[in-house]
Structure formats: structure tokens, C-alpha cells
Amino acid sequence: MKAKKQRVAAYGVCINEDDEILLARWLGPKSKRWILPGGGIDHGEHPYDGVVREVEEETGYLAEVVRLLGIDSELREEPDRDYHALRIMYEVRIVGGELRNEVDGTTDLAQWFPLADIGELERVPSLDTALGLYRNSPPGGILR
């Protein structure tokens, strides 16, 4: 019987007045891909606090939550386990700090990108889901 793993994470969609989005480059097992700043929440940590912490860790910016966008739920079978990812998506805005790269973490680069260029980036699928939640504000907080 396969092991079961569930991971709960919080991510921040941060779009500035120039229509640029803040992304971090994730050091995935197979390749580097662009992702929203964010990640796993600690045991007992509220996702709201987790996204603020993660944005600062990965980008150097101090963030403030604007609103909850929704939740992305992905179940995938892997060779050794069934993996269930729950991603809580927030809209955030920058309130301080300075852009910098994470050192010795799961990302290695933080950068602003024009929203119009997102389609050209090597990115994780959850980035597209988060942008769909941001643009459409579905009443139930889920894209089908």
C-alpha cells in the first residue's frame, strides 16, 4: 500500500501598479521553475501568517494580506505515495523591505515579471490557477 502525504501551503499573488507580478524561482527536483512566493505552513501556523513569512523569506519583502483568493487542491499519484497538495492563495501587497534572493532555501531568485510575459516562463501549474483566482474571483474560491 502506498504512503499518503498531504501538504498545506500558502502563496501570495503580488501584482504592482506596473502590472508586474512577483515570482520566485523554485529549485524543483527536475528543473527550476517560476512559482509564487510562498510554501508550506508550519504546524500550528495560520496560513495568513505563513504567507507573510514565506514572502519575506523568499523575496525580502514585507507583505500584507489583501484578501483570500481561494484554494487549489491537487491529488497526484507518485511511484511511492499518493500526494495531496492544498494551496491557499492570497492576494498580497508589499509594505516594506527590499527585493533580495533567498539563500539556502527552496528558491534561488526573486524577480518581477510583466503579467503579459507569464506565458513564456517555465512555471508551475499552480501559478496559472492562482492568476485565474485573482482575475475571476469565483464565489466559492475554486476554479473548476
Closest by CA to 40, choosing from 22, 30, 54, 52, is 54
Per domain, the residue ranges of the chain are 3-136
Is 38:52 a contact under the CB 8 Å cutoff?
no
Q: What's the rounded Cα separation, in Å, for the pair 51 and 67?
A: 12
Q: What is the DSSP letter of 61?
A: E
pLDDT in tens, 52-92: 999 999 999 999 999 999 999 999 888 888 999 999 999 99
What mean pLDDT comes out for the span 109-123?
97
| pLDDT computed for residue 3 by the predictor | 93
118 vs 30, higher pLDDT: 118
Would you tell me which CATH number, out of the four given (3.40.50.2300, 3.90.79.10, 3.30.230.70, 3.40.50.11740), belongs to the domain 3-136? 3.90.79.10
Closest by CA to 89, choosing from 114, 67, 106, 113, is 67
Mean of the per-residue pLDDT values of the chain: 96
pLDDT over 90 (residue 1): no
| pLDDT computed for residue 78 by the predictor | 84
| pLDDT computed for residue 144 by the predictor | 78
pLDDT over 90 (residue 111): yes
Is 115:15 a contact under the CB 8 Å cutoff?
yes
| pLDDT computed for residue 15 by the predictor | 98
pLDDT over 90 (residue 115): yes
Of the pLDDT bands very low, low, confident and very high (cuts 50, 70, 90), residue 2 is confident
One DSSP character per residue, the chain reads --EEEEEEEEEEE-B-TTSEEEEEEEE-SS-EEEE-SEEEPPTT--HHHHHHHHHHHHHSEEEEEEEEEEEEEEEEE-SSEEEEEEEEEEEEEEEEE-----SSSSEEEEEEEEGGGGGGS-B-HHHHHHHHHHHH--TTS---
